[in-house]
Amino acid sequence: MKWRSAVLVVLLASCLLPAANGGARAQPAPARTPEQLRYDIEEKVSRTLLVGFNGDAPDTPDTLRFITMLGRYPLGGIVVFDRNVRDAARLSGLIGQIERALPERQLAAVDEEGGAVRRLRRLREVPATPAAATVSAGSLENAFNTYATLAGSLARLGFDVNFGPVVDLDLERANPVVGGPRRSYGNDPATVAAYAGAFVRAHDVYGVATVLKHFPGHGSTRVDPHQTAVDASRSWSPREMEPFRMVIAADRPAMVMTSHIVVRSPALGQASPLPATFSGGTVATLRRQLGFKGLVVSDDITMGAMGGYPLDEVVHRALLAGHDLVILANLGTDPPARIREVITRVADRAMADPALRAAIEIASGAVDQFKRERAARLLAAGQADVSATRQREGAPPLESRQRPALLPAQPPLRALPRGGRADVLNAQRRQ
């Protein structure tokens, strides 16, 4: 985005150039000490991280250690996994306890796309959402209703973000992370965009942000990046970006997740063998060519594809590439210690690197703005009275927690181009 480039130039200039002399002007603010600068950098780095943690109830030792860490490092948000889930009451209390630990909100995220990827499968309060391939065998109306039921259950538990939908094309049945587990809506960009759009709009009804994944397209590979590095340069084609382009234009998702795959392609401005996580060209393509204006988030950097790099280096390079949020999902037995280590090491790098400091400033500012605008939208949706009632009852405020459970009227469904599968889908829409 042009504004991001302009801001980066201004921030770099402020880091590198002395102030102009002469002329009447306001007295400059006192220069910060190195200690103050470092404290500020560490806090802003923390706001760019979405982290996994241990603990499955509000009062476990793991949870309490994690909350203590938040007092120093106010994260961008948390990611809930199976290990955090015992029952609905404890999970909702756990999310609320973490969010109430700080005056500012923490985004609560989960990977609950359906099918093989269901982190909340042990909760009866969350529906057993089918895989994308199953959903796309039915009508768009049924897809919207399926995802609305899912989104409503997530909102009632207090989630802000769902890491879906998958917008990868199903181009390789031997693909162990897309085609094999039936996580794609199909191999036609328009069909994939239509069903992914239903996912996005259904979640929007309940104020749950969605995340298109995995840009620039992960459907043509035969290797699993959870285990090892993947070079898709020979199998990838620019056509894999088309469903992303369509959903971004029509449905304005809140976030897009990049993949760890390597794609060397002129279409991405990427000639060197870098994973998309490190590729400024890939992120620039997403923003400039596809017009995406939301938050760009990395895939989990504790995956095998990133195993050859220290975590702080991955965060450093992801932020320089233009990511706003970086996911650290699996941090072993002591996540707070690992998080502190990553933040302090990235801060060490930033103290000596004005470009990294500028990137951190932009990313943390974008995350803060997203949180403020999200809270304002939820309040503007007519939920203030409900929030006040919950506050009187001692519950967390609505803007950071649950939303009404009533399903509003279905938004209009987007028409598909005529021909083949699209004709069938449009016929179903008219029934």
Each domain of the chain, given as residue ranges in start order, spans: 41-399
Which is nearest to 243 in space by CA: 188, 201, 280, 303? 188
> Is 203 considered catalytic here?
no
DSSP letters spanning 262-319? B--BGGGTB-S--BGGG-HHHHHIIIIIS---SEEEEEETTSGGGTTS-HHHHHHHHH
| 299, 300, 312, 324: the active-site residue | 299
Q: Report the CATH number of the 41-399 domain.
A: 3.20.20.300
Among candidates 404, 411, 409, which has minimal Cα distance to 382? 404
**pLDDT attached to residue 380:** 75
Identify the three-state secondary structure at position 15: helix
Write the CA distances from 103 to 98, 106, 129, 237, 404, integer angstroms: 11, 9, 34, 45, 23
Give the integer Cα–Cα distance in Å for 44 and 36: 12
pLDDT in tens, 107-123: 999 999 999 999 999 99
Query: Is 168 labeled as catalytic in the residue annotation?
Result: no
Q: Prior bond to 316 cis, omega within 30?
A: no
Whether 50 and 297 have beta carbons less than 8 Å apart is answered as yes
Are 70 and 63 contacting, i.e. CB atoms less than 8 angstroms apart?
Answer: no
Q: What is the pLDDT of residue 374?
A: 87
Rounded alpha-carbon distances, angstroms, from residue 320 to 51, 324, 423: 19, 10, 44
Angle, nearest 10°, between helix axes 335-351 and 34-46? 130
Q: Which residues pair with 52 in a beta bridge?
A: 79
Confidence (pLDDT) at 404: 39
The string over 158-193, giving b where at least 16 C-beta atoms fall within 10 Å of a residue's C-beta and e elsewhere, is: bbbbbbbbbbbbbbbeebebbbebbbbbbebbbbbb
Regions of the chain with pLDDT less than 70: 1-29, 382-431
- Nearest CA to 346 among 313, 368, 307? 313
CB 211 within 8 Å of CB 255: yes
| Residues 6+ away with beta carbon under 8 Å from 270 | 263, 264, 279, 281, 282
What pLDDT does residue 6 have?
52
The rounded distance, in Å, linking the Cα atoms of 11 and 15 is 6
Confidence (pLDDT) at 410? 45
Q: Give the model confidence (pLDDT) of 211-223 as tens digits.
A: 999 999 999 888 7
Q: What does the pLDDT read at residue 20?
A: 42
Question: Residue 222's pLDDT is what?
Answer: 80
Please pick, among 226, 348, 353, 368, the residue that the annotation labels catalytic: 226
